[in-house]
Amino acid sequence: MFVPSQQARIWLCTEATDMRKSYNGLSALVKSHLEQDPLSGHYFVFVNRRKTMMKVLYFEPSGYCVWSKRLEQGQFQVRTSATGKRCLTWTDLQLLLDGIEVQKHRQYKRYRHAA
């Protein structure tokens, strides 16, 4: 399992993606559809039409990385959005990967040290 850095943002593409795409195809989707820079170090999450496969594209100083997961049973619970993209937290991504959908939640304010 990969562990995203705390400074990196995680972007979820809420529209179905062709999972035959690899580094070049996914980075082109990041530029055109998500309107982000694929070299930024952020994590970009893509799910196929049947919601049984997920790919995560990210850039490290030495090059692109693609992480992939295919489900044997069930589906990833990805809701579509009007913009076609959604910003996730590390916790949101972990819940999505584990197949947990939170119906109703409340997040209480916590202290954060300004760095």
pLDDT in tens, 54-65: 999 999 889 999
Query: What amino acid occupies position 32?
Result: S
Phi, psi of 31, rounded to the nearest 5 degrees: -70, -50
C-alpha–C-alpha distance, residues 28 and 33, integer Å: 8
Task: Supply the pTM of this predicted model.
Answer: 0.83
C-alpha–C-alpha distance, residues 58 and 3, integer Å: 11
Residue 4: what pLDDT?
A: 67
Domain ranges of the chain: 10-98
What residues of the chain score a pLDDT lower than 70? 1-2, 4, 103-105, 115
User: What's the token pair of residue 44?
Assistant: 């970009």
Residue 104: what pLDDT?
A: 67
Say which residues have a Cβ less than 8 Å from residue 65's Cβ, sequence separation at least 6. 2, 57, 58, 59
**By three-state DSSP, how is residue 95 classified?**
helix
Residue with tokens 């760095």: 115
Is-contact 75 48, C-beta < 8 A?
no
